[in-house]
Amino acid sequence: MSRDLDRRLTALAEAVEVADGRLEPEAVEAARAVTRKAGVRLGLGIENTVVALAGPTGVGKSLLFNVLSGAELATVGRRRPTTSEGQAAVWGDGADPLLDWLQIGRRHRVDPGALRGLTLLDLPDFDSVEGAHRLEVDRIVALADLVVWVVEPQKYADASLHDGYLRPLRTHGAAMAVVLNQADLLSQSEVGAWKDDVSRLLADDGLRTVPVLVVSARTGEGLDSLRRLLAERVAARDAAVARLAADVDAAARTLRERCGEGRPAGIQRGDRERLVTALEEAAGVPTVVRAVDAGHRHRGTLATGWPFVRWVRRFRPDPLRRLRLRDRAQDGAPEPGRTSLPPPSEVQHAQVATAARALADGAVAGLPAPWPTLVRDAATANEGRVADRLERAVGGTDLRVTRPRWWSVAAVLQGLLALTVVAGLVWLLALAVFGYLRVDDVIPTPEVRGVPVPTWLLLGGASAGVVLAFLARLANGIGARRRSRRAAGALRRQVEEVAQELVIGPVEQELEAHERLRKALAAAGADART
């Protein structure tokens, strides 16, 4: 049973760790106090069982304490209240560390006998005019292994007992007993009716299983049953563990109420995609993709266009370099992460925030408060880092803008064709000049198929160059589309990483916290006992 308690305490400690900062602080603190108390109590050993006599003033706690311990230890009085400080009777020895922890100074040794291991506490009253009495009672009731509630025929139904203690401790039936004292003042039939009434009240309190004993401290009636009950619990050495188990159970139950029932829907695929798309827009990915396309066409024209017109291109800037993005065609990469892309607009920022909140709301659907708030906060906690992180992601992306090999071949070809054109032109000019000067046949004009060779050179070279430029343009269009698709893929992967780091990761962490807490609380609860 103690191993079972250890396991449940470990689970409760884990639940406290996860619940800290997430669930209501008072409930978390109360559960933490239980784990601490259990550690100390178990550390003090279960050889001694602490039984506290508690109840209203004048019910006979002190007389009962004296009769059980067989000595005039406590003052029994007519003046109310009589007892103002707790004191202990110890059957056997070894209870000192325990009593130090309980802060009980007055201690008496009693001949052990059948009750060896019993540490009996006489407490002040809890319904006192003295406020300090109640504090003392509350302190000990929270720590004792077994609380024996003593009542008498007049005060047994008091609200201060039922509302103040019994009902709030309804999870602690295993750590309690009720003693109906002063039975000598009632007739046999009155005692029967009294016991029935007490049982009914206890059932109303939620304490159906608590043992109820009828005694008289004055005549000794019923005390044997009380001694037997105490002897059994002390010999079994299970009272401390049972008490702590009830504490753990109550704490786990309270945390479970705060945590709420249900399972989250989890992150929805559509929400994830909408978030990544919103981040892409904010990062200027469409602009970059267009620049990759235009950049490739630009460079393609410079490399493979018709030489007589392509120089015009040089006056236009390279669309990709204008954005100062990383590409292989450039010698050194630009300063990492500093692009010339415009920062996200207000609208784009808002769209990212909306997508993050929608993702959080979709993921947490099915869970009650406080989880929707916790998950939303997690999803939007990094909002301030979005712009910077996106710029670094885009700036750091290898866009894989490669230069095709055939460009050099096409460039050489265009050069040769241009030379052909120039040669034809010079030849024809020379012919024209000499013709003008009427000096014929100095320069030969061979013909092929009736057309002079220089004319072939000029027209053939020019049309071949134009055709080559046109074909290269088509090929560069295809290359530009392929490269922009590739760049879009690379950018999306980078942006997905940003989404994971800034939004999805934190949301997943909160959902995992919920799952961990749910499991830990289930393991800490009494229903998890195997």
Ligand X SMILES: Nc1nc2c(ncn2[C@@H]2O[C@H](COP(=O)(O)OP(=O)(O)OP(=O)(O)O)[C@@H](O)[C@H]2O)c(=O)[nH]1
The 115-134 site mask, x for binding ligand X (CB under 6 A), equals: ---------xx---------
Helix (H, G, I), strand (E, B) or coil at 27: helix
Residue the block writes with tokens 């003593």: 150
**Closest approach of Mg ion to the CB of residue 229, in Å:** 21
Cβ atoms 342, 243 nearer than 8 A: no
Please say which residue, 85 or 261, places its beta carbon nearer to ligand X: 85
Q: Is the dihedral of CA 319, 325, 330, 332 positive or negative?
A: positive
Cβ atoms 91, 110 nearer than 8 A: yes
**Is residue 51 involved in binding ligand X (CB under 6 A)?**
no
Type and span of the H or E element at 148:
strand 146-151
**Site stretch for Mg ion (CB under 5 A), options 25-33, 55-63, 98-106, 505-513:** 55-63
- Which token pair is 76? 């029994």
Give the one residue of 3, 78, 314, 405 binding ligand X; rule: CB under 6 A: 78
**Is residue 69 involved in binding ligand X (CB under 6 A)?**
no
**Closest approach of Mg ion to the CB of residue 123, in Å:** 8
Burial of 449 from C-beta contacts in 10 A (0-12 / 13-18 / 19+): exposed
**Is residue 83 involved in binding Mg ion (CB under 5 A)?**
yes
| CA nearest neighbour of 127 among 157, 164, 154 | 164
**Site stretch for ligand X (CB under 6 A), options 76-84, 400-408, 440-448, 476-484:** 76-84
| CA nearest neighbour of 514 among 392, 375, 384, 404 | 375
User: How far is CA 100 from each of CA 111, 175, 363, rounded to the nearest angstrom?
Assistant: 21, 21, 51
| H helical segments located in 336-370 | 346-364
Across the strands, what pairs with 448?
451
Residue 217 near which of Mg ion, ligand X, none (CB within 5-8 Å, type-dependent): ligand X
**Closest approach of ligand X to the CB of residue 81, in Å:** 3
Please say which residue, 81 or 337, places its beta carbon nearer to ligand X: 81
Please say which residue, 86 or 424, places its beta carbon nearer to ligand X: 86
**Is residue 66 involved in binding Mg ion (CB under 5 A)?**
no
Report which residue's Cβ sits closest to ligand X.
Answer: 60
Count interface residues toward ligand X (CB under 6 A).
23
- The Cα diameter of the chain in Å comes to 160
Give the one residue of 217, 320, 390, 393 binding ligand X; rule: CB under 6 A: 217
**Closest approach of ligand X to the CB of residue 194, in Å:** 13
Please say which residue, 217 or 386, places its beta carbon nearer to ligand X: 217
**Is residue 62 involved in binding Mg ion (CB under 5 A)?**
yes
**Site stretch for ligand X (CB under 6 A), options 180-188, 277-285, 341-349, 412-420:** 180-188
**Closest approach of ligand X to the CB of residue 3, in Å:** 39
Q: Virtual CA dihedral for 75, 81, 84, 88, nearest 10 degrees? A: 50
**Closest approach of ligand X to the CB of residue 74, in Å:** 7
Across the strands, what pairs with 119?
50, 90
Give the one residue of 36, 80, 385, 529 binding ligand X; rule: CB under 6 A: 80
Cis peptide before 124 (omega within 30 of 0): no
Please say which residue, 125 or 293, places its beta carbon nearer to Mg ion: 125
Cβ atoms 356, 279 nearer than 8 A: no
The CA-to-CA distance between both ends of the chain, in Å, stands at: 10
Cβ atoms 296, 483 nearer than 8 A: yes
**Site stretch for Mg ion (CB under 5 A), options 60-68, 89-97, 98-106, 148-156:** 60-68
Residue 306: what are its φ and ψ, rounded to 5°?
-70, 120
**Is residue 282 involved in binding ligand X (CB under 6 A)?**
no
Point out which residues bind Mg ion (CB under 5 A): 61-62, 82-83
Point out which residues bind ligand X (CB under 6 A): 57-63, 76-78, 80-83, 124-125, 181-182, 184-185, 216-218
